[in-house]
């Protein structure tokens, strides 16, 4: 048996060689990263199956498209049955899957090639002869990716893409056989973005993050330098870490003065990132002015998403993101209330000294306990009181919990005309949505 692009030649004793589409198994197929990739692989002509512990909107969507999924224990039974029916070429999983997960253990025992999602995506891009446009950065990459996809769609340019959230103008992952370009939100977590060699890269910002992957700031910055070096051409902001691109002639630095002030978008960070999109589109040879197209960008879910009157949800969980979102909010309202849920205790140990004056644009701040995920058990969990110790003039900061008292406070603020923002990458978003139903 040997591979031929995305097909496999299977030899039978008394039959001619026949071509069978590469069989890919996705473990955790309902996840926000894996699910869209499964759709992309399906649309690109691969055979797709997979499993997840519980059903979701994504697994329902995949099933409606005829993609076979198993919901349940993920104990290896379905994986074995799939292998027996048609040999699996690749077993794809996320970084969240533990090393002793029954499906991963079985896949390795069966000799199936195992890989994380970015390795497969890089293969699809290469196999389909697509030019990769990668969007990377500590902050803003999801929205910027969405802006680029939206702009190309409005220009009538076929585009394949993958974005790390749900959007109103298409699925999260899409393969268009007519496309020349693949637009990808290229995440630095787990060093994922180093699997690619982009035709064109946009780097929105660089601020130390993901200490679970990069123990030091130097390692983090070095990874972005490597990413830029792997790109045929890259555009990045000339900011505090621009020196990491020294000597890289393929990197063009964009000055803050180049921000298109004609863009009708709330938030300076959104106008900055939309300017990067305009630069990328011009690099692709589009001469049309895209200011009106980008000014009508509908946004992406969880990025300053309006849930109801005077109530917004935002994914921000870094001091730079907090400051940017509050700056945008104050462009729209004179009275802003922030409900903030820090994300990951491991990360808070790195950020604690960075919490300073980011919260001054909010009338009131309700600080929640840290949402725990992928934690280092050797680190003590920092309390809200410890995290706010360096914030000046913190009389407007209140320690709170996700309870009925907080919801009553939110309702009172909304009814008085104040803008309320629930911010964080943990459970705050689902909690707000549940209370609205």
pTM: 0.76
Alpha-carbon radius of gyration of the chain: 23
pLDDT of residue 240: 82
What are the E-state strand segments in 208-283?
234-237, 251-254
Q: How many CB atoms lie within 10 A of CB 42?
A: 18
Round to whole Å and give the CA distance between 294 and 303.
Answer: 16
- Which residue has 């027996």 as its token pair? 84
The full set of domain ranges for the chain reads 2-116, 130-295, 305-436
Round to whole Å and give the CA distance between 91 and 334.
Answer: 51
pLDDT of residue 15: 33
Q: Do 182 and 130 meet the contact criterion of CB atoms below 8 Å apart? A: yes
pLDDT of residue 2: 32
> CA-based diameter of the chain, in Å?
82
Task: Give every strand in the sheet of 251-254, ordered side by side.
Answer: 173-174, 159-162, 181-185, 131-136, 200-203, 234-237, 251-254
pLDDT of residue 11: 36
Residue 399: both structure tokens together? 């320690």
Round to whole Å and give the CA distance between 280 and 204.
Answer: 12
Round to whole Å and give the CA distance between 57 and 34.
Answer: 13
Question: Domain 305-436, what fold?
Answer: 3.90.190
Q: What is the pLDDT along the chain (437 residues), one digit of tens a residue?
A: 333 344 333 333 333 333 457 999 999 999 888 999 999 999 999 999 999 999 888 899 899 999 999 999 899 999 999 999 999 999 999 877 889 999 999 999 999 999 998 999 999 999 999 999 999 999 889 999 999 999 999 999 999 999 988 888 998 899 999 999 999 999 998 899 999 999 999 999 898 988 889 999 999 999 999 999 999 999 999 988 999 999 999 999 999 999 999 999 988 889 999 999 999 999 999 999 999 999 999 888 778 899 999 999 999 989 988 998 999 999 999 999 999 999 999 999 999 999 999 999 999 999 999 999 878 889 999 999 999 999 999 999 999 999 999 999 999 999 999 999 999 989 999 999 999 98
Assign 234 to helix, strand or coil. Answer: strand
Torsion from C-alpha of 65, 135, 98, 122, nearest 10 degrees: 70
Q: Do 404 and 397 meet the contact criterion of CB atoms below 8 Å apart? A: no
Q: Which CATH architecture has domain 130-295?
A: 3-Layer(aba) Sandwich (3.40)
Round to whole Å and give the CA distance between 227 and 223.
Answer: 6
- Which homologous superfamily is 2-116 in? NAD(P)-binding Rossmann-like Domain (3.40.50.720)
pLDDT of residue 294: 97
pLDDT of residue 88: 97
Q: How many CB atoms lie within 10 A of CB 189?
A: 13
Digit-coded pLDDT (tens) for 332-387 = 999 999 999 999 999 999 999 999 999 999 999 999 999 998 788 899 999 999 99
pLDDT of residue 267: 87
pLDDT of residue 31: 87
């Amino acid at each position: 048996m040997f591979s031929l692009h995305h097909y496999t030649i299977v030899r039978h004793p008394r039959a001619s060689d026949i071509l069978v589409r590469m069989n890919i198994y996705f473990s955790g197929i309902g996840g926000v990263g894996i699910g869209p990739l499964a759709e992309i692989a399906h649309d690109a002509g691969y055979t797709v199956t997979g499993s997840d512990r519980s059903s979701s909107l994504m697994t329902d969507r995949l099933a409606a498209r005829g993609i076979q999924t198993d919901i349940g224990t993920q104990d290896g039974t379905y994986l074995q049955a799939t292998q027996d029916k048609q040999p699996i070429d690749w077993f794809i999983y996320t970084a969240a899957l533990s090393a002793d997960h029954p499906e991963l253990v079985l896949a390795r025992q069966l000799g199936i090639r195992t890989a994380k999602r970015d390795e497969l995506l890089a293969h699809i891009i290469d196999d389909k002869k697509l030019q990769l446009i990668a969007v990377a950065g500590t902050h803003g990459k999801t929205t910027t990716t969405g802006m680029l996809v939206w702009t190309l769609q409005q220009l009538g340019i076929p585009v394949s893409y993958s974005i790390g959230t749900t959007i109103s103008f298409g699925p999260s992952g899409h393969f268009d056989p007519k496309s020349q370009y693949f637009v990808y939100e290229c995440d630095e977590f787990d060093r994922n973005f180093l699997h690619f060699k982009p035709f064109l890269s946009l780097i929105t910002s660089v601020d130390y993050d993901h200490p679970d992957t990069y123990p030091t700031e130097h390692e983090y910055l070095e990874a972005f330098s490597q990413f830029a070096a792997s790109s045929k051409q890259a555009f990045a902001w000339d900011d505090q870490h621009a020196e990491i691109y020294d000597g890289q002639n393929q990197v063009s630095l964009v000055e803050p003065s180049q921000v298109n002030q004609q863009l009708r978008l709330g938030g300076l960070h959104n106008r900055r990132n939309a300017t990067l999109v305009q630069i990328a589109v011009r690099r692709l040879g589009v001469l049309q002015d895209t200011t009106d197209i980008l000014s009508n960008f509908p946004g992406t879910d969880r990025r300053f998403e309006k849930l109801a009157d005077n109530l917004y949800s935002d994914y921000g969980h870094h001091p730079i993101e907090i400051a940017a979102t509050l700056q945008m909010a104050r462009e729209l309202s004179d009275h802003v209330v922030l409900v903030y849920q820090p994300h990951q205790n491991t990360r808070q140990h790195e950020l604690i000294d960075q919490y300073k004056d980011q919260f001054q644009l909010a009338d009131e701040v309700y600080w929640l306990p840290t949402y725990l995920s992928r934690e280092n058990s050797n680190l003590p969990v920092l309390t809200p009181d410890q995290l706010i110790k360096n914030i000046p003039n913190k009389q407007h900061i209140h320690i709170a919990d996700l309870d009925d008292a907080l919801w009553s406070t939110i309702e009172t603020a909304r009814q008085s005309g104040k803008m309320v923002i629930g911010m964080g990458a943990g459970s705050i978003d689902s909690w707000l949505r549940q209370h609205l139903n």
